[in-house]
Amino acid sequence: MKRIKTHILRRCFAFLMAAIVLAGTAITSPMTAHAADGTLNFQTGELISYGDYYTTKMSVDNNGTAYCVQPMKKTPAAGSYQYDLLGKDSALRKALYYLPGGYGYEEQNIAGTYLSGWSENDRYVIGHLVASYVYSNYDAGSGAFYGAPQSYIDKAVEIANAIQGLPAPPDSFRAFIIPSDSNQTVAGCWYEKPYGWIEIQKSTANSSVSDGNGNYSLKGAQYGIYQGSNLVETLTTDENGYAKSGDLEVGSYTIKELSPSPGYALDTNAYDVTVSSNETAKAEVKEIPQNNPLSLVLQKLDADLKDAIPQGAASLKDAEFTVKFYTTISDTDPAAGGSEPARTWVFRTGEDGEISFTEEYKVSGGAFYYASDGKTLCVPLGTVTIQETKAPAGYQLNETVFVLPISSSGTEETVSAYQAPDVPDAVIRGGVKVQKRDLETGGTTPQGGATLEGAEFAITSLNENPVVVDGTTYQKDEVVLTIKTDASGLASTAADALPYGSYRVDEVTPPTGYLGEGTLSAEFTISKNGEMVDLTGEDSSISNQIIRGGVKVVVV
């Protein structure tokens, strides 16, 4: 922070008035003054004539305007002089503020209002006459207008009267006189431009999202300090979210964020602050960390149907998934590198195979994250992993780890990096083997000239949901597969032919030598992956009645 003493001290010696004191004559100034307050350098310049008289153009410290306030006295020699400050209620102090060379001269457009058409030298003369007139307590007969044309006098009186109705100078405006025993007393002023500062303290508006997460930083946010529409200064926050301006003139300012720091949304609010002299105005701003709102966590699908429809007697309900959130952003599973999740949840699917990011679907785990509204469920910037840890009835476990990085994008609070994955599960599949038997003998040896080979069986789905067999989708009561017996009367499917569910096997074509009568059908269920349902036992086989005929005997 700069100390006030290092401020640019703008000396505006507008108006040095000189009261020349005759040798041996004591002159009492009507203005209030304070005893010796410092030293300055006084310079004299060109002579400027007006009417039958002239004045010397004066300055202080090489750049401050000065005025003679006693036209009939002798101009003091250039050199170093002590000065005394004028009181804040001094009429001369106020006049000097609004005369050429003073800050109020431009602020109130004195030149345009009262001195349009007057040359710069004539304007200086008018300033000299006004200062002399005010110094004499507005006494036109005091010699303040000595040698001046009437038009100059009239203009000086007009401006002097107008100044009385203008606002008082700011407290930082300091006027003075330079006393002299033999020459003019010179008056002038310093105008120390009042400065102050603005500091910004940025903090997170949602610590539950940003704390302990390296994707969020308070460092690097840029803020613009505006006065009206003008950008006065640009500030950049440090790692603590702090920034402080340089010297700012006293007045009203507006702070706007130009670009956010990493992980945060752009703050679109405008903050009005007032800068006072030698004081620091503080603006505390809350920054909203970006996050990804979540509703749908995942959608479970049947791998064959590629839809959220279960096969056979399987179900998409009650699959369990472990969802982990890591504060690092990665395209691969952070756990593989030894990272520990910040939070872990276990969710269970509903009837439709979906998981929503709500308490209704949560089985266990930590608290949820919420967006800045305190209502919207979300995840911070980082990485989400999803893995099925319990398959639903009728399906095989999908052990794939789905990795979803959540990165910052845009300037809004909400990012849309999370895309709910479709998680396909392969249905449990099995097969069936059927034994053809002779109904009368119960054996697997055909009678007479009959054979057990060539019997044809149709397998029908008894499931409410469709099944996919050999790439074709079948509905309930549709034949999904046909098989034929070999020479030993055995017929079988592949071990992965039939999806999880219930089926019926029916003989549709008996083998040679047998009737389509007997035990011609059987129901079975596929419940274990790769298992062959055995319908070869005597109690579960398909048995046919042998064809029989009679012999007619003719007696001759």
- Token duo for residue 442: 């119960």
For residue 415, the SS3 value is coil
Distances (CA, A) of 3 to 247, 368, 450, 521: 10, 49, 118, 102
Evaluate whether residue 552 is within a structural domain.
no
Amino acid at 270: A
Q: Which of 191, 220, 238 is the last residue of a domain?
A: 191
Q: Answer yes or no: do 314 and 284 share one domain.
A: no
Q: Answer yes or no: do 438 and 323 share one domain.
A: no
Evaluate whether residue 219 is within a structural domain.
yes
E strand or H helix that includes residue 92: helix 91-98
For residue 371, give its domain range: 292-425
Q: Answer yes or no: do 375 and 279 share one domain.
A: no
Q: Answer yes or no: do 400 and 342 share one domain.
A: yes
Evaluate whether residue 15 is within a structural domain.
no
Q: How many separate domains does the chain show?
A: 4
Cβ neighbours for 307, distance < 8 A, ≥ 6 positions apart: 301
Alpha helices in 1-45 (DSSP H): none
E strand or H helix that includes residue 134: helix 120-135
Q: Which of 191, 224, 255 is the last residue of a domain?
A: 191
Evaluate whether residue 64 is within a structural domain.
yes
- pLDDT of amino acid 314: 98
**Cα–Cα distance measured from residue 200 to residue 482, given in angstroms and rounded to the nearest whole number:** 80
CATH label of the domain that carries residue 466: 2.60.40.10
Q: Answer yes or no: do 521 and 397 share one domain.
A: no
Q: Answer yes or no: do 212 and 334 share one domain.
A: no
Q: Which of 25, 29, 40, 24 is nearest to 132 (CA)?
A: 29
Evaluate whether residue 17 is within a structural domain.
no
- Token duo for residue 498: 């039939």
- pLDDT of amino acid 81: 87
- Token duo for residue 379: 């995840």
Q: Answer yes or no: do 297 and 406 share one domain.
A: yes
Evaluate whether residue 232 is within a structural domain.
yes
Q: Answer yes or no: do 433 and 405 share one domain.
A: no
For residue 524, the SS3 value is strand
pLDDT tens profile 459-513 = 999 999 999 999 999 999 999 999 999 999 999 999 999 999 999 999 999 999 9
Q: Taking the alpha carbons of 413, 414, 417, 421 in that order, is the dihedral positive or negative?
A: positive
- pLDDT of amino acid 15: 36
- pLDDT of amino acid 187: 65
Q: Which of 425, 443, 459 is the last residue of a domain?
A: 425
Evaluate whether residue 554 is within a structural domain.
no
Q: Answer yes or no: do 300 and 412 share one domain.
A: yes
Full DSSP string of 458-505: EEEE--SS-EEETTEEE-TT-EEEEEE--TTSEEE--TT-EESEEEEE
**Cα–Cα distance measured from residue 400 to residue 396, given in angstroms and rounded to the nearest whole number:** 12
- pLDDT of amino acid 34: 38
Question: What's the per-residue H, E or C state across 145-193?
Answer: CCCCCHHHHHHHHHHHHHHHCCCCCCCCEEEEEECCCCCCCEEEEEECC
Q: Answer yes or no: do 333 and 208 share one domain.
A: no
Q: Answer yes or no: do 404 and 441 share one domain.
A: no
Amino acid at 470: D
Q: Which residues pair with 544 in a beta bridge?
A: 438, 518
φ, ψ of residue 377 to 5 degrees: the values are: -75, 140
Contact 18, 186 (CB under 8 A): yes
Q: Which stretches of the chain score pLDDT less than 70?
A: 1-36, 180-182, 184-193, 550-556
Contact 189, 102 (CB under 8 A): yes
Q: Answer yes or no: do 268 and 379 share one domain.
A: no
pLDDT tens profile 382-393 = 999 999 999 999
Evaluate whether residue 168 is within a structural domain.
yes
